[in-house]
Structure 1
């Protein structure tokens, strides 16, 4: 895994969009997805891992009770992938990680927390095309037959009915990317997708290293964070857009009118 440090706003764009050219179709179609974090010391641990304690055993209970008490709020479904998507979307600790196809959304999440402005941020950049090489053979064949590089909830549901089956498809640990259904404007506007690992105790960054998946870490130094943040605001990459509704509007206004913290 390579690590690059952006020297300026322009250099950051070069790093994020590098590798976008697809010679086969003569278009700029990036094979990368992005995850922005406000502190470069943050790894790719899931919210389930950060729960601590006996979290592998708690995963089943968390999801079971979410389905039990939350079914009145959503369309009934038997798909574990649909329920995991909804649970992650509403803040339940899960084994999913949020990613985006948009470099600018990645930049937003790396700079939105102005309380972390004195710390370097980081954007993880992962080649989701290359990640398919480590999939179980049945999954890989099905994805190739569909002509895609990322799973859908429906496709995953056809392949694996529950998390136990997902874990047992391969002896070696693996991970995959899948696109959630467009349940609301947040998922649509954030150009979102999720990663999920077959083993809830293994962080995705470890699997990236183990499987030698093409990926990079791009550091946003604290010294250019405010410039990046202000230019994203001017480009309308804000909470008001990414989190439609009054809550997102309030977060944007609070940050927009907050004084700049010391250098």
Structure 2
């Protein structure tokens, strides 16, 4: 018997995941603004899963296959993971029919008891990290939020004016500091440089070092409780700075506020959309060979990207980035896939606000300080000023 799990994403929306009895994920829904809406979508999915004609087979740009479950009104009810062959795709659809129909059950994770690991020292933090499962085919990343109330979205989406003027901010910085961007190469590299200088971008910093994530959780957000979020990202889904998908998503930032990417279109009609055509042209400015055929899934992705290690801060912080696409239009960011998250509403790592200073002192004894995380001279000078001044 299959089971629909109701979950809540980092941006506050609701979605469901259909899992087989062996816990394998079969289908993941779109996001909904209310709990009642996602429950209604599950009822529709149960009814539609009985009908093989409701499954749409799609091929991505890189030749991978996936399927979508379509409702009575033609709306998208859920999407599968990527498959390497038509045979495995057919097995996935068979599993969705077998486990997703009316005899499936619903598990509301939001109504279940939640576990929050309260952290008051480096030792208890390491113990909590050790409780998380490890996977040989995935890389574990961490991110420290100074305030547990922070949402898992890039800085660009923390101020409506920034996302509204993203294309202007990008052009103005390059215009005013042209010498700094002459040799930056792909647009993604320019975004990394902008992030380095605290300009809001569609990048979110992550690290492979759990102590660095703990440092950032304690160094920001004042006295509020903080959080460390843990990701498990499959190795075969991690991209490099020069990836085609990375270029495509990065160049969304060059397009104006009114840009929209329609949903629920087949790939041919999607690529005829005026804004999709503009995005392809922007991408071809850095990659002339880029094929004018875009998969909607690529635009709505959140991609883990390994940057060029030409920045002392990235090297010191063992850094990588989550690059956020968009959900329909520029005003709404794509969401981090649920399967990427090791911590969730059911298991959180919370750092007590009152223990932040103590933890920072413990981290300093381990060589994790402001001066080592930010090696530029102004930050080292600031660390020395604070370290040797009277308290």
Q: TM-score, normalised by structure 2?
A: 0.52
Offset of residue 186 of structure 1: 0.6
2:190 maps to which residue? Answer: 83
User: d(CA) in 2 for partners of 1:61 and 1:253?
Assistant: 37
Cα 1:40–1:251 shift into 2, 3 Å: farther
Report the 3-state secondary structure (helix = DSSP H, G, I; strand = E; otherwise coil) of the residue aligned with 1:227: helix
> For residues 1-263 of structure 1, what are the structure 2 equivalents within 5 Å?
4-9=116-121, 10-19=123-132, 21-22=134-135, 31-53=139-161, 55-113=162-220, 116=222, 118-129=223-234, 148-156=236-244, 160=248, 162-163=251-252, 164-165=279-280, 169-170=295-296, 173-199=300-326, 200-203=330-333, 207-208=335-336, 211-216=338-343, 217-256=348-387
User: d(CA) in 1 for partners of 2:164 and 2:355?
Assistant: 42
With a CA cutoff of 8 Å and minimum separation of 6, indicate the structure with the bigger relative contact order.
1
Where do 5+ consecutive residues of structure 2 fail to align? 1-7, 9-113, 253-278, 284-293
User: d(CA) in 1 for partners of 2:119 and 2:183?
Assistant: 49
Offset of residue 70 of structure 1: 2.2
CA contact (8 A) 1:111 1:229 kept: yes
Offset of residue 162 of structure 1: 3.0
CA contact (8 A) 1:44 1:203 kept: no
CA contact (8 A) 2:117 2:350 kept: yes
Cα 1:36–1:214 shift into 2, 3 Å: closer
Offset of residue 3 of structure 1: 5.6
Cα 1:233–1:60 shift into 2, 3 Å: same
CA contact (8 A) 2:304 2:323 kept: yes
Cα 1:8–1:211 shift into 2, 3 Å: closer
Cα 1:77–1:238 shift into 2, 3 Å: closer
Offset of residue 109 of structure 1: 0.6
Report the 3-state secondary structure (helix = DSSP H, G, I; strand = E; otherwise coil) of the residue aligned with 2:314: helix
Offset of residue 251 of structure 1: 3.1
Report the 3-state secondary structure (helix = DSSP H, G, I; strand = E; otherwise coil) of the residue aligned with 2:340: coil
Q: 234-243 or 173-182, which moves further after superposition? A: 173-182
Cα 1:41–1:72 shift into 2, 3 Å: same
Where do 5+ consecutive residues of structure 1 fail to align? 25-29, 130-146
Report the 3-state secondary structure (helix = DSSP H, G, I; strand = E; otherwise coil) of the residue aligned with 1:109: helix
Cα 1:39–1:259 shift into 2, 3 Å: farther
> Which whole-Å deviations, capped at 9, do the CAs of 1:38-62 have from their partners, x for residues lacking one?
2111112322122323x44411121
Offset of residue 247 of structure 1: 1.6
User: d(CA) in 2 for partners of 1:158 and 1:37?
Assistant: 25
> Which whole-Å deviations, capped at 9, do the CAs of 1:9-53 have from their partners, x for residues lacking one?
2221122244465568xxxxx732111122111112322122323
Offset of residue 212 of structure 1: 4.5
CA contact (8 A) 1:3 1:219 kept: no
Question: Which protein is richer in strand relative to its size?
Answer: 2
Offset of residue 234 of structure 1: 0.5
Report the 3-state secondary structure (helix = DSSP H, G, I; strand = E; otherwise coil) of the residue aligned with 1:215: coil
Paired positions, count = 231
RMSD between superposed Cα atoms in Å:
3.0
Cα 1:194–1:182 shift into 2, 3 Å: same
1:138 maps to which residue? Answer: none
